[in-house]
Amino acid sequence: MTPGTTTDGGGRRAQAVLIGLVLLIGIVAVASIGILLVGAGANEESKSEAQDERVKKSFVELDKDVDSVSETESNTRVTELDLPEEADVAIRRENTGRITVNRTNLTTTDPVVVKNIGAIVYEHDDVHYAYQAGAVWSGTGNDTRMVSAPRLEYDTDRRGGSPTFTLPITDMEGPDTLNSGTIRVRKLETEAPLNNVTSVDNQLVTVKINSTYYVGWGNYFDERYENAVVTYDHPNQTTIIKLGRIEIDGSFDTGIVSNGDIVFDASGSDEIESGIRTGGNFQDNVGGQPDSCPDGPPCVDQGVSITFGTLDQAIATKAEDTAADCGGDVTCASSLQSLSGPGYDLDKGVYYISGDSTLDGSSDSIQADLSNGNVSIILDGDLAMKQAKILADNPAQNSTCCYLRIYFNGTDMAMGQSSGIHASTDNATRVQLYGTSEFHFDGKNLQSGGGWHAGLYAPGSASSTTNDALSLIPALSDVGSEDICFGQGSGTVDGAVIAGSVCFDQSVSFEYEEDFRTIEPTLGPSGIITPPVTYLHVSVNKVCVEDDTQTGSGAC
């Protein structure tokens, strides 16, 4: 072989080695570039997260300083607003929402305060922080999360009584933008006479917060305060917070209380085991005085002065409110029988019935599960029952929770032929029925297979009208002209009754359920019993918020 020459095989090998080296160098170079790019991306992400954290901390500090200035006589506080360079400014927006506080008794609603509220907002890419009315929020709408809690307070005295609800509202003034750097917060004034403690005992308090951050407001109150009643009007971005109780005139501490006549027309040896108070007369066509006096004689007080506040307006308002919330926190149906079925038909909550209900047969029976909370039914129609039952199941025997409450909005009720209404524990306090002044109850033939084991509060005077529920089931027939009339083939009607005029017919005994002594008739919004409130303290504090470059410019 001539020196300086190579075979084709050797050349191809050398060429392959050279190509391999070039490819390897290229791969290493590309990989290095990729590593640099990934590292740069991670650094950018880390930088962005750090900036967001600084913004959040700035808003929390701003919240503290605004709160401090608005709640004290301190005139000025200084804080730092740390914003990224690309964000430029935070925006102060006026009228981003409204806080409305009302108080309501049985018949009227009075506004305590209606106040538009603003916000200081930082937005960059997907990041959103806002200070509004004493709280800092992250995100908006259903994605709202609390960063710093609002200043709502619900406190009791040392003995757990006289609860006070405090709601300070911050009203901000100042320029439309805030630059990064030093921020000054100045107290302007506290609006009067809102800065007073107002007695709201025996009233309902409703707080409506309309805001982009309404879900955050509601979640905070729902999680912080036990038994709080919080509902949402999602289309209008509004949270509704309800407090307070209306203690209705009257008490269940006597078995039968009537502002009309009481007629005991039962036969045989049947008896009334209850004290009686009546604004009219007591007529016993069997044997004179009741056979058993739980508190000793006298068992009957006749012609006494009894005054009851009418429930008409309160129940009508309850029906209107619950009907308006159909599809929200209220389950709505045209009749009770449409809710019946195997198992527990009604879990805790509020149910609005818009029409007449005919529970005709055992398959139409209704079971309310009280193991997790109260069940409230608002009826805007008549109710007739035959061979069907309404059962409140699973209440703890000695617990204060829970109850089935049925509210009749000017409607009538009739029961017969083995129908019944009672609690599974035989504690009649667990079932309570409330009626307007036009309410009639007719139970001619409850029979021993059914029965009445409940409390009834319907202090009306409607004996001049007819009971329309009787026409729903032809087998039901009228007992008499009294507002409330119990009849039973045999057995006992027990519970407590507050009514207009009352009669007992057929072979019926009435027995007072002693546990009703601890029960006060109570009307809560939408049928739910809310936390009580004795005092309400709402204040509106005006503050000026401006950055260092704007101080003294007259922006406030």
Beta bridge mates, 101: 113, 207
Q: Which two tokens stand for residue 551?
A: 């101080």
Task: Specify the range with the lowest mean pLDDT, choosing from 283-297, 303-317, 355-369, 518-532.
Answer: 283-297
Tracing tokens 């089931």 back to the chain, one arrives at 473
CB 20: neighbour CB atoms within 10 A? 10
Q: Is the pLDDT of residue 2 over 50?
A: no
What secondary structure does DSSP assign to 311-349, as a single string? Answer: -HHHHHHHHHHHHHTBTTTEEEES-GGGG--SS-SB-SE
Residue 1's pLDDT is 44
According to the model, what pLDDT value does residue 108 have?
74
Which of 231-235, 503-507, 517-521 has the lowest average pLDDT? 503-507
Report pLDDT for 260.
84
- The CA distance from 265 to 283, in Å, is 8
CB 549 within 8 A of CB 213: no
CA–CA dist 530, 217 (Å, integer): 18
268-272, 278-282, 291-295, 383-387: range with highest mean pLDDT: 383-387
Exposed, middle or buried: residue 42 (CB in 10 Å: 0-12, 13-18, 19+)?
Answer: exposed
The C-alpha atoms of residue 525 and residue 517 are separated, in whole angstroms, by: 24
d(CA 299, CA 341): 44
pLDDT at 130 over 90: yes
Token output for 406: 């049925």
Determine the Cα–Cα distance for residues 69 and 111; give it in Å rounded to an integer.
Answer: 27
Mean pLDDT of the chain: 79
Between the two ends of the chain, the Cα-to-Cα distance in Å is 101
Q: Are 325 and 526 in contact (CB under 8 A)?
A: yes
Q: Which residue has the higher pLDDT, 189 or 228?
A: 189
Q: What are the backbone dihedrals phi and psi of residue 145, each rounded to the nearest 5 degrees, phi first? A: -130, 140
Token pair 């289309």 is found at: 235
| CA pair distance 445, 496, nearest whole angstrom | 19
* 296 has a pLDDT exceeding 60: no
Pick from 276, 339, 325: nearest CA to 302: 276
Q: What are the domain boundaries of the chain?
A: 53-245+532-547, 256-524
- Which of these, 336, 331, 318, 324, lies nearest to 469 by C-alpha position? 336
- pLDDT 10s digits, 402-439: 889 999 997 889 888 778 898 887 789 999 999 988 88
Give 2-52 as a DSSP string. Answer: -TT---HHHHHHHHHHHHHHHHHHHHHHHHHHHHHHHHHHHHHHHHHHHHH
Residue 381: exposure state from Cβ atoms within 10 A (0-12, 13-18, ≥19): buried
Q: What is the structure's pLDDT at 334?
A: 94
Question: Residue 35: which pLDDT band, with cuts at 50, 70 and 90?
Answer: very low
CA distance 65 to 80: 10
* pLDDT beyond 60 at 371: yes
Which DSSP state fits 156?
Answer: -
- Tokens standing for 445? 């033939």
Count of helices and strands (H, E) across the chain: 3, 40
Tell me which residue of 115, 147, 124, 123 sits closest to 211, measured CA to CA. Answer: 115
String of DSSP letters for 504-527:
EEES-EEEE-GGGGG---EE-GGG
User: Which pLDDT does position 527 carry in this prediction?
Assistant: 46
Can you name the residues that pair with 135 across neighbouring β-strands? 132
Structure confidence by residue, pLDDT tens digits, 472-486: 887 676 655 678 888
DSSP string, 349-377: EEEEE-S-EEEESGGG-EEEE-SSS-EEE
For residue range 42-77, what is the model confidence (pLDDT) as tens digits? 455 566 677 888 889 999 999 999 988 887 766 788
Lowest mean pLDDT among 13-17, 283-287, 392-396: 13-17
Tell me what pLDDT residue 201 has.
Answer: 83
Written as six digits, the tokens of 222 are 């729902």
Burial level of 527, CB count in 10 A (0-12/13-18/19+)? buried
Q: pTM higher than 0.95 for the full model?
A: no
Which tokens hold the place of 166? Answer: 């405090």
Name the residue with higher pLDDT: 36 or 242. 242
**CA of 39: how far to CAs of 33, 36, 43, 44, in Å?**
10, 5, 6, 9
What does the pLDDT average to over 153-173?
Answer: 83
* Buried/exposed code over 391-413 (b: 16+ C-beta within 10 A; e: otherwise): bbbbbeeeeeebbbbbbbbbbbb
Provide the 3-class DSSP secondary structure of residue 539: strand
3-state secondary structure of 106: coil
* pLDDT the model gives residue 381: 93
Q: How confident is the model at residue 457 (pLDDT cuts 50, 70, 90)?
A: very high
**CA quadruple 513, 518, 521, 525: dihedral sign:** negative
Interval 115-132 mean pLDDT: 90
Distance CA 406, CA 527 (A): 8
Asked if pLDDT for residue 398 goes beyond 80, the answer is no
Q: What is the pLDDT of residues 169-190, one digit of tens each?
A: 988 888 888 888 888 998 888 8
Q: How confident is the model at residue 303 (pLDDT cuts 50, 70, 90)?
A: confident
Distance CA 492, CA 502 (A): 16
Write out the two tokens for 513. 């359920």
Rounded Cα–Cα distance for residues 486 and 506 (Å): 9
Reduced to 3 states (helix: H, G, I; strand: E, B; else coil), residue 478 is coil
* C-alpha count within 13 angstroms, C-beta hemisphere, residue 545: 35
